[in-house]
Amino acid sequence: MLNRILAITGKEFLHLWRDPRMLAAVLLMPVLMLLLFAYAISFDIRNVPTGIVDMDNTPTSREYAQAFDASDLFNVSYRADTISGVDAVIDEGRVSIVLVIPKGFGKDLLAGLTAEVGVYVDGSEPNSGRVSRAAALALTTQYNRELAVRWADLNGVDISAVGGLEPLMRTWYNPELKSSDYLIPGLLVVIMMIVTVQQTSVSLVRERAQGTQDQITVSATRPTELLLGKLLPWSILALTEVGIITLVSKWLFNIPLRGNLFAFALGTFIFVVCGLALGMLISSFCNTLESANMMAIVVAFLPSFLLSGFVFALEQLPEWIQWLSCALPVRFMVELTRDVFLKGAGFAEVLPEMSFMLIFAVLAITLAAHFYRRRLR
C-alpha cells in the first residue's frame, strides 16, 4: 500500500518538477504576492502622525515616549498629559495614532510588574492604522520591556482599565479592511485554495483524460491509494506554503501571531482536507482540463478572493451573499486565521469554525467518493 502511494506521489512531484510554469505558479506566486504587500506597505509606514499622552510623566515614561519619537516610523506632532484633547486631534486628522501612558507606568515597570499602555488608533484611515498598531507593538518589543499593549479597537479591550481612560467613541476599526492584518490571512486562504482545489482537480482530471488512470487502476492500485498518492504532494505543498507565509508575515509584516499556533495548524489541516475534497469533487464532474480549471475558479478562487477581505469586507456584502458564503469553508478559514492571528484565539474560540470545516470536509469527501464510484459504472 505504502509502496504504491509513494510511487504515485513521487510521480506527481516529477510532473511538477518537469513543468516549470506550474512550478512557478505554485511556488513563486505566493512569494510574489507577499512581496507586493511588502512594497505597498513600505509606502506608508514612515512618519505616521502620532500623539503621545504621558499621564505618568516619570523618567521611565519619558524614555519610553522618546523611543517613539526617535523612530522614523512616527512623527510625534501632539503631546499632552491628559486624555481630554485626544478625541479632537484624531477627529481633525492631526494624528492617526495616540499612545497613552497611564499613571503608574514607571512605578509598575520598576517594580517588575506588567505595565500597560494604551494605543488609540484611527482605524478609519486605510493602512496607517494597521501600520501603527504593528509598529507600536514593534516598539514595545524594541523597548525590551514586558509591556502588555492594550488596543482600543473594536474588539473591545476595556479602556477604562488602562489608567482610568474613557473609551473614545470612534470607529476603531478599518471598515474597508484594507490592511495587511486582514489581507495576509486572506492571502493565506487564497493560496491554500489554489494549491489544493485547483491543482488537485486539474491533476486528477489530467490523469483520467490522458488514459493513464485506467492503466494505474488495472495495476490493482485501489482508488483510495491513487487518490492518497495524488493528494499527498498538494497537501505537503499547501502546508509548506502556509508555514512560509506565516513566518514571513510575522517576521516581515509584524502580524501579531497572538493565538494558539496549534489551533491554527489544526484549522489549516482541516481546511486543506476541505480543499482536496473539493478538488476531488470537481474532478469527478469534469472531463476536460479546461472545465476543471473553470470550475475550480468558480468554486475556489472567486469565493476565497471575495470573502477574504481582499476586495470587500464581508459585512458590506449583501446579506444573501453572506449566507451563501456559509456554504463554503473559505469564510470560516479566514475567520479562524484572523481570530488566531489578531485576536489571540485558542482552540475554544475557533471551535465553531473548525467544526464547520470538519463537517464540510466529511460531506465533500463522501460526495466525491460517491461520484467517483459512480463513474466506474
Partner 1 sequence: MTEANAISIQNLTKRFGHFTAVDHLSLEVPVGQVFGFLGANGSGKTTTIRMLTGSLTPSSGKAYVLGANVAKRVAEVRRRIGYMSQKFSLFEDMTVEENLRFYGGVYNLDPDEFAARREYILDMADLRGRESELTANLSVGWRQRLALGAATIHSPELLFLDEPTSGVDPLARRRFWDLLYELAKTGVTLFVTTHYMDEASHCNRLAFINSGRLVAEGTPNELRAQHNGATLEEIFTKLSTN
Residues lying near partner 1 in the complex (CB under 8 A): 3-4, 6-8, 10-11, 14-15, 18-19, 210-212, 214-222, 376-377
What lies within 8 Å, CB to CB, of 339 at 6+ separation is 259, 345, 349, 350, 353
Of 190 and 216, nearer to partner 1 (C-beta) is 216
Shortest distance, CB of residue 211 to partner 1, whole angstroms?
3
Of 13 and 262, nearer to partner 1 (C-beta) is 13
In 3D, which of 304, 296, 277 has the Cα closest to residue 189? 304
Of 54 and 207, nearer to partner 1 (C-beta) is 207
Task: Tell me the Ramachandran region of residue 345: left when phi exceeds 0, alpha when psi lies from -120 to 50, beta otherwise.
Answer: beta
Of 169 and 218, nearer to partner 1 (C-beta) is 218
Which grid cell sits at 139? Answer: 516598539
- Local structure of 120: helix, strand or coil: strand
Count the neighbouring beta carbons within 10 Å of the beta carbon of residue 92. 8
Phi, psi of 53 (to 5 degrees): -110, 105
Shortest distance, CB of residue 208 to partner 1, whole angstroms?
10
Q: What is the C-alpha separation between 161 and 158, in angstroms, rounded?
A: 6
Shortest distance, CB of residue 284 to partner 1, whole angstroms?
16
Nearest-10 crossing angle of helices 180-193, 261-285: 40
Of 6 and 31, nearer to partner 1 (C-beta) is 6
